[in-house]
Structure formats: C-alpha cells, structure tokens
Amino acid sequence: MANLGKERELEKNKPVDPEALIVPKDVLSKQMLDLSAEIAASEDTMYYLDRALANDSLELSVHLKEIRKLARKQFLAKAHMKKIGEKLVGANFTLR
C-alpha cells in the first residue's frame, strides 16, 4: 500500500502533455482541430510580419508576398473547415 501512495504522488508531479488532453472523436474532428491550429498559426505569423514591417526589419515587397501566401493558405483552411463543420453540424455551421 505504501508504494501505491508513492506512485500517485509521482503522477501528480509529472508534467501534463497538452496533446494528450484533446483527443478528437473521429477523423473529421481531427481535421477540424488541425485546420484550427493552422489558421491560428497563420494569424500569428501575419502579426509578426506586420511588426517586422513596422520596425523596418522587412521590406514592403517581401511583406506583401508573404502576407498574400499566408492569406490564401488561411482562406483555404477556413473554407475546408467550414465544409467539415457543415458535414458535422449541418447547414447552420458558421466560423467566427
């Protein structure tokens, strides 16, 4: 019994793996999760590109080229996410 208490104490001190907390129930849910992460990453990248432009660390032509690529990728991810959402939830699905 003493060993069981020590094992539980060790489990409490283990770092929690965030990837293990969210487990999609099916393939479409996994795709939604992956697309959501991709959209968020695109937004973060666009933010830092804007900051680099504002700090004169990036030329305007490079900024516009990268923003255009990211915006297209983000648009396609949102369109794909909307299609999956409509399939899972129905026609009333909307992205925020």
CA angle 36, 40, 42 (to 5 degrees): 115
DSSP string of 23-85, one letter each residue: --SSHHHHHHHHHHHHHHHHHHHHHHHHHHHHTTSS-HHHHHHHHHHHHHHHHHHHHHHHHHH
- Residue pLDDT tens, the chain, 96 long: 456 566 666 567 778 777 777 788 889 989 999 999 999 999 999 999 999 999 999 999 999 999 999 999 999 999 999 999 888 888 777 777
pLDDT at 15: 80
pLDDT at 21: 78
Distance CA 48, CA 70 (A): 12
Angle, in degrees to the nearest 10, between helices 27-54 and 60-89:
160
Whether the pTM exceeds 0.85: the reply is no
pLDDT at 70: 98
